[in-house]
Each structure stands twice: as structure tokens, then as C-alpha cells.
Amino acid sequence: MFLSAETTSILKNFSSINQSILIKQGKRLRSMSVMKNVLAESDILEEFDRDVAIYDLSQFLNCLSLIPGAELKLMEDYIKITDGTNSIDYRYADPSVITAPPEKELNLPSEDVCVVLTEEQIDCAKKSSAVLQIPDVSIIGDGKSIYLTVRDKKNSGSNSYSINVGETDRVFQFNLKVENLRMVASDYDVIINNTVTRDGSLVCNNYPISDASIVRHMRASHKQTIIANNSFATATFCAGIHRNALTNSISGTNSQPSHLALELPVLRYLSDYCPWKYDGFVPN
């Protein structure tokens, strides 16, 4: 098997999400961050005839660069990288030590808001975040226009940078962490489903995420999801808070002792028994 430049590029992108990867038998690459807040998936041209666990993906890619154009042979305990003259035996890792995505896939719900974000607009948002030293970026609809806004969502008096990216008759707000914008440069179709009570979710093809995420398809059907920030559970056995998407303020609990919060974070499938919310970045 020979890896194409495109597949190598996808693996390089995945290495920024998780240093390890578990490649399942077939023609699909999948990865998830250790914090379980970033998901990535890509259909590739090459087919793996067995599962391959790689602990240090960056190191593996550097090995490929040592023997340009090398063939990969999937042996029983290792990958042989060879051009017929030079060779590297790269040992498999233990799959149990690798954080891998869940097997189950879910369908994207209805499309309530759609907007195109260009590569230039996304790049400007990243640069303005670096200049202003602001960690958050939001997609905001005010009933007339849609804005891509870099701001500190916890500080209403912070500096901000906004780009008018479209029109809408809806009012909404979806928040992302700029540090999680680890997509390959491209234009994106943003699809927002506004039916769930959460901060906002931008989901890519069949992934339930609780806050915000981003998706892109490369030419080999690459799909990448990135979540912005984690949710916080209220104290167990105390009054719950209904986390509507556009809630501006909520009543805080009083300073009384209570049990510790119970939190089950595994991708928050069916979290708090609320309906799922999805938003998606799909290739333009």
C-alpha cells in the first residue's frame, strides 16, 4: 500500500487533534482528541486490511518522510516502510491506550440557519483573535444579519471584531473557542439546527456535540468536527437549570452546602435527557 499526498496531509491534520490514532480496517480514518471535544473523520482512497494503532502519529509521519514514496506493508506486529533498499519497522501500539471515536453515527437534523464562511473570513477571525488576545469567536444572528464575531463572551466590555457574513430573520448565538479552529483552510457552508437547549452546536455529518464544532470535507471526503467549550453540570439533587440556547441570564443557586455535581461527560450523548443539537460546517 502506498499513501497518497492527500492521505498524508489528512493524517498530519489529525495529529494536531490527537497524537495517537487507531486506524480501523477499511478506507476511513477517524480521530478524537483526548479531551473528547474534537472529532475528525475522513474517507480515503487507500484501504487498510487490518486495524493499525499508532501511538505517536507525528513520529510515524516523520518516518514516512525518511523514505519518500515508500510502500507500507501491514505485518502482524508492525508496519514495514520500505522502498526496496531502505526500510523501517514501525511497531503497533496497544489500542487500549488510544482515545478513539465512538462507533455510532447519528444523522444531522434539520437546517434552521445556513451561511457560508469563506477561507478569508475564517483567517481574519483567527488573526484578530491573536491581535486582540481574545479566546472566543461567535456566530451571531440579530434578526437581520449574521456576524462572525471575535469577542470575550464572558466580558461584555471586551474589545471585539466582527464580519458581516450573511442575512437571517432569526436571532441566535453560537460560541466557539478560536483555539479549536484546526481545520484545513477552505470555505465552509455552516448549517445550524436551533432546536436544542445549549450554548450552541456546530456539527459535522452525524456527530452529536454539546457546544460548538466545525466540519470540513476534503476531496477525499474528509470530515472534521471541533467543539468549542465544555458544558457544566448543576449540583446533583439541587434545582436544575434549563439551558436554553439564547438565555442571557439565569438565577444562581444560593451558597448552601449540597452534594457534588454528577457529570457523565462521554461526548454527552443524551446529556441531561435533552434533545440533541447539531450545527454543521460542510464544504462549500
List the beta bridge partners of residue 164: 147
What's this model's pTM, rounded to 2 decimal places? 0.62
- What is the number of domains present in the chain? 2
Residues 161 and 64 in one domain: no
**Distance between CA atoms of residues 89 and 77, nearest Å:** 9
Residues 130 and 88 in one domain: no
Decide which of 97, 128, 161 is a domain's last residue.
97
Residues 36 and 117 in one domain: no
Residues 136 and 274 in one domain: yes
Is the pLDDT assigned to residue 28 strictly greater than 70?
Answer: yes
Q: What is the mean pLDDT of residues 23-34?
A: 93
Q: What is the CATH number of the domain that holds 67?
A: 3.70.10.10
Residues 177 and 273 in one domain: yes
User: What sign has the CA pseudo-torsion 98, 136, 153, 216?
Assistant: negative
Does residue 103 belong to any structural domain of this protein?
A: no
Residues 87 and 224 in one domain: no
Share of the chain above pLDDT 90, in %: 44
Residues 239 and 119 in one domain: yes
Q: Is the Cβ–Cβ distance between 31 and 17 less than 8 Å?
A: yes
Residues 44 and 71 in one domain: yes
Q: What is the CATH number of the domain that holds 175?
A: 3.10.150
Does residue 106 belong to any structural domain of this protein?
A: no
Residues 92 and 162 in one domain: no
Q: Which residues contact 223 (CB under 8 A, 6 or more apart)?
A: 40, 41, 42, 204, 205, 215, 216, 217
Q: What pLDDT is attached to residue 194?
A: 62
Q: What pLDDT is attached to residue 195?
A: 60
Is the pLDDT assigned to residue 267 strictly greater than 50?
Answer: no
Q: What pLDDT is attached to residue 110?
A: 74
From start to end of the chain, where are the E strands? 21-23, 26-32, 38-48, 52-54, 71-74, 78-82, 87-91, 113-117, 136-142, 145-151, 161-167, 171-177, 188-192, 222-226, 279-283
- Read off φ and ψ for residue 248, nearest 5 degrees: -95, -30
Does residue 137 belong to any structural domain of this protein?
A: yes
Residues 221 and 271 in one domain: yes
Query: What is the domain range of residue 77?
Result: 5-97
Q: Which amino acid appears at position 178 of this protein?
A: V
Q: What is the pLDDT of residues 120-167, one digit of tens each?
A: 999 999 999 999 999 999 999 999 999 999 999 888 888 999 999 999
Residues 118 and 85 in one domain: no
Q: What is the mean pLDDT of residues 25-34?
A: 92
Does residue 252 belong to any structural domain of this protein?
A: no
